[in-house]
Each structure stands twice: as structure tokens, then as C-alpha cells.
Amino acid sequence: MAEALRVGIAGLGTVGASVARVLRDKAAELTRQCGRDIVVTAVSARDPKRDRGIDLSAAKWFDDPVELAEKADIDVFVELIGGDEGPARLSVKAALEAGRHVVTANKALLAKHGVALAEIAEKKGVLLNYEAAVAGGIPVIKTMREAMAGNAVTRVFGILNGTCNYILTRMEAEGISFDACLKDAQRLGYAEADPTFDIEGHDTAHKLSILTSLAFGTKIAATDIYMEGISNITQADIRAAGDLGYRIKLLGVAQRTDSGIEQRVHPTMVPTASVIAQVHGVTNAVAIETDILGELLLSGPGAGGNATASAVIGDIADIAKSRPGFQHAPVFGWPAKELKPYKKARMRSHAGGYFIRLTVHDRTGVFAAIAKRMADSDISLESIVQQAAGAETLAQKTVILVTHETTEAAVRKAVEGITKDGHLTDKPQVIRIERAE
Ligand SMILES: NC(=O)c1ccc[n+]([C@@H]2O[C@H](COP(=O)([O-])OP(=O)(O)OC[C@H]3O[C@@H](n4cnc5c(N)ncnc54)[C@H](OP(=O)(O)O)[C@@H]3O)[C@@H](O)[C@H]2O)c1
């Protein structure tokens, strides 16, 4: 049998401790599948005394993950610390430069430094595997990078943040407010004490930027993403969406257009009958559309110790099975040096249908003025519905408009016009509608 694969794990929190535990519990199966043992020989975390629920005394302890990456007797460095700078970045870079394979679950690091790190990995002839960084346990990276060779991707979109999907699912199912759902999510450990990163779309954007690079062979451009979170979604939106046959999801969408690539993260109305609308709670899903395959949807657990460990261990097993001297597949599907510059499409030219909810003074002429602004912007309406905003106030009405395909620029112009006309009593709500099977 080949020599054991020696693994060093830096970061022994939710994911790191799960990885160590599964490697121990599944040692026999992994040996059979990989043709060699996989052994944890070195570990690092902040607190050497913390009980991690697993005996790691056989592994050498390192206070400094960079030292582990450079000097430990390991073949693979597994980074499960997190963060886009500091020890995570320094240790991954050090491991690659020392010619060690790296496995990471760190989307923030890859979104910011992925291309530079991939260049080092490819120069050194080692693997940089990151299946767990996007959609947790769902094997989307391998699917896009390996199983879909030859396919030209036209669009990739998905529910990439379990916290947001949990909140939207409960808002719809139980009719409770965004704030109440967020508090529950925090109590249950689905949301961080500071939830901004999740609910304002940053986490989704990081993951999307990695998928975009894999889909279109472009450099990662995580700062070039149009981003809106879910914190201004109200019960009125959820109810109106339901009445119209839609469900609201926070989607990350990357799409090829005539003017470049569109990357956007925002609340989106998807048809209630579509497959992606059936993805509830903390589950994640990724839809990939290509010229050969058509549409593929992968869904499953997007976070949590075991689910994420499953993806990390798949990456470690790939390294255990890889043959020395063999050319490895490029990190982002194309050699890092050949990734094309990212050409951003103008968000204002984004074409699609829109849902617009307006709260207006209940007086004559308002309806006609709204219709005129829409016509002036060449927006054709699929439906326009007027309803009392609530029993407590008869002085205002809600107007809900659904447009046929139009552009973001046209919608903004029309809504600015309506706002200027002075008919609104509250901020207008605009939600994009996404075509989905
Ligand atoms: N949790 C998930 O469901 C999930 C899903 C997908 C991807 N990920 C990614 O996986 C990574 C780890 O996430 P996690 O949830 O496991 O985080 P976590 O529970 O906060 O664990 C972080 C670990 O890093 C260690 N650490 C922090 N600073 C360190 C330093 N300077 N030197 C050495 N060790 C240090 C901590 O040590 P102490 O324990 O001693 O404090 C802890 O063990 C992140 O990149 C995250 O984005 C997580």
C-alpha cells in the first residue's frame, strides 16, 4: 500500500473538529477508497486547552498555523480558520509555496485572493481544493470544473446563504416579520450575532464570485457585484408575491449578456412552481444552465460541521488518490494565468420582469399618473392591482405592478418619476423576477 497521506489541520472549530472526527470515524472506508491511509499529523488552533470532543494528542500541536504550513511533516494543509487576511491567507500561501497541497473552505479568502493563490498552486504543481467554500456540502465545484467539461455556461444562480433562506421561508410560512425571524435564527445558531454579512448579501456574493469564475473562465471579481440584501423585505411583499404565483428568494445570479457578465445578489421573485422555489429553510441550491446539458439543479445542506466536513474530506480524498507527477486540473477550470479579465455588464441594462409595490395617497389621478410614467419609460405591464394598504388607513392604497421584460434603467426612471410626482406615502419596493424552470 502507498504511504499514508499526512494531513495538517489549521482551525479546529465547527468545521475543523468535524473534519478530524470524520477522518477518524471513517478511516477504514477512506483507506479502502483511496488505497492509502489518511492520518492527521499536525493541528493548530488558538486555544490548545479547549476540549474539541476528539483526541488529537497523536498530532503535533502548532500555535502558529503558518509554521504548521511550512514546517510540519504533512502532505496536505487544511485551512479551516476563516477570514480573507491574517493567518488564513498567510498559512495557505506558505503551504502552497512550500509545495504542499491545500484544502480550504474559506470563500472570503478565495473571493479576494483566489486567483493569486491559484497561480502559486499551479506553478508549484500542487492542488488547491475548495469544494466546501461554495454551498457547503453540495459538490458544485467538482460538477462545474470536471463533470461539465465542454459545456458553455449561460447562467448560474442559486440560494447560497442558508440564514437568508431560513428567514424568508419562515416569514412566508408563519407570516412573521423579518426582525422576529432574524432573532430566532440567531437563537438557533443559524445567524451570527452580527448578521450583516449574511443578510446584506456579502456571503452570497463571495460564493457567487467563485462560481462566476468557474462558469465563464474569468478572473474573480467579488467587488464588482450588484448587491441588495433581504432586510427590507416585508410581509406585504411576501403576500403579494404569493398572490401573483411567486416566492421570494435571495439569489446570487451570474449571467452572460451581450455587454459582459452580470453578477448580482438580490431578493428575487421566482415562480412558485419552479424547482428552486421548493428549496426551503437552511438548504442551499445551485442551478447551472449550459448549451449541452440544459439546466441542472443541485440542492443540499449548505453549512454545518458534518455537511461541510463531507466536502473537505472529498477534497482530501482526491489528493490521496492523485498520482505523483500527474498534471492537476487547473484550480478554476482554466489555468489561472489564462483567466480572462472580468468584463462587467451594466446593471442598468439588466433585462427582466419586475415587481413594483407602491404605497400611494388614495386620491383621484394617482393610478393614471403611475400608468403614464410606466408608458413614458416604455414599460409594458403584465398586471396592475390596487388594494387597500390596511384596515387602519383608508387614506392610502397599495398598487402592485408586474412588468413584462424591461430594463433596470427603465424601471428606475419610472419609479423616480412616480416618486417626484408626490403620490407615494412610503418608499417604493422593487423586486426583480427571475425566469426559472
Ligand atoms: N461553519 C460552517 O457551516 C461553514 C460552512 C462552509 C464553510 N465554512 C468556512 O469554514 C471556515 C471555518 O469555519 P468554522 O465555522 O469552523 O469557524 P470557527 O468555528 O470559528 O473555527 C475557527 C477555528 O480557527 C481557529 N483560529 C482562529 N484564529 C486562529 C489563529 N490565529 N491561529 C490558529 N487557529 C486560529 C479557532 O481556534 P479556537 O477554536 O482555539 O478559537 C477555531 O478553531 C471558514 O472559512 C468558514 O467560512 C464554514
Give percent of the chain with pLDDT exceeding 90: 89
Sorted by sequence, the CB contacts under 8 Å of residue 229 that are 6+ apart come out as: 164, 199, 200, 201, 250, 267
Which of 16-30, 143-157, 319-333 has the lowest average pLDDT? Answer: 319-333
pLDDT at residue 390 greater than cutoff 60: no
Find the mean pLDDT for residues 124-150. 96
Looking at residue 192, its pLDDT comes to: 79
Model confidence at 89, pLDDT cuts 50, 70, 90, reads very high
Quote the ligand 1 centre to 45 CA distance (angstroms). 9
Model confidence at 193, pLDDT cuts 50, 70, 90, reads confident
Quote the ligand 1 centre to 265 CA distance (angstroms). 25
Cell of 10: 489549521
Find the mean pLDDT for residues 80-109. 98
Instruction: Check if 132 has its Cβ closer than 6 Å to any atom of ligand 1.
Output: yes
Which of 234-248, 393-407, 411-425 has the lowest average pLDDT? Answer: 393-407
Instruction: Check if 82 has its Cβ closer than 6 Å to any atom of ligand 1.
Output: yes
Element (H, E) at 133: none
pLDDT in tens, 335-370: 999 999 999 998 888 889 999 999 999 888 998 999
Cα separation, 77 vs 91, whole angstroms: 9
Model confidence at 388, pLDDT cuts 50, 70, 90, reads low
Instruction: Check if 105 has its Cβ closer than 6 Å to any atom of ligand 1.
Output: yes
Cell of 289: 444552465
Name the active-site residue from 107, 112, 207, 249.
Answer: 207
pTM of the model: 0.95
Q: Which atom of ligand 1 is nearest to the CA of 12?
A: 43
* Ligand 1 atom 10 nearest Cα: 105
* Ligand 1 atom 27 nearest Cα: 81
Looking at residue 393, its pLDDT comes to: 60
For the chain, what is the mean pLDDT? 94
Looking at residue 348, its pLDDT comes to: 83
Quote the ligand 1 centre to 14 CA distance (angstroms). 7
* Ligand 1 atom 38 nearest Cα: 46
Give, in order, the Cα–Cα distances in Å from 416 to each of 353, 354, 384, 421, 422: 18, 15, 18, 9, 10
Looking at residue 391, its pLDDT comes to: 46
pLDDT at residue 389 greater than cutoff 60: no
Instruction: Check if 85 has its Cβ closer than 6 Å to any atom of ligand 1.
Output: no
Looking at residue 235, its pLDDT comes to: 94
Assess whether 219 carries a catalytic annotation. no
Looking at residue 394, its pLDDT comes to: 67
Cα separation, 43 vs 164, whole angstroms: 33
Helix boundaries (H) for 157-275: 162-174, 178-187, 196-199, 202-216, 235-243
Quote the ligand 1 centre to 229 CA distance (angstroms). 24
pLDDT in tens, 298-335: 999 999 999 999 999 999 999 999 987 778 889 999 99
Cell 441542472 appears where?
A: 296
pLDDT at residue 147 greater than cutoff 50: yes
Quote the ligand 1 centre to 50 CA distance (angstroms). 14
Which of 206-215, 242-251, 358-367 has the lowest average pLDDT? Answer: 358-367
Cα separation, 242 vs 271, whole angstroms: 9
Looking at residue 326, its pLDDT comes to: 79
